[in-house]
Amino acid sequence: MKLVSNATLLVTSAILGLPMLDALQTPGYRDVMIAAGNEALAVGGALGYRVLPIFGLTRAQIADRSRIVDIMTDKLFAGFVVPGATTTVLQDWRRGSGRHSEVDDLNGLVAAKGAQTGVPTPVNRVVTDLAHRIERGELSPRPGNLSEMLGAVR
> What are the tens digits of pLDDT across the range 25-35?
999 999 999 99
CATH number at residue 42: 1.10.1040.10
Q: What is the DSSP letter of 140?
A: -
- Cβ(57)–Cβ(71) under 8 Å? yes
Q: Say whether 62 sits in a helix, a strand or coil.
A: coil
d(CA 140, CA 122): 21
Q: How many domains does the chain have?
A: 1
d(CA 26, CA 20): 10
Identify the weakest region by mean pLDDT among 9-18, 30-39, 84-93, 140-149.
84-93
Identify the domain containing residue 105 by its residue range.
2-153
Give me the pLDDT at residue 98, please. Answer: 66
The model's pTM is 0.93
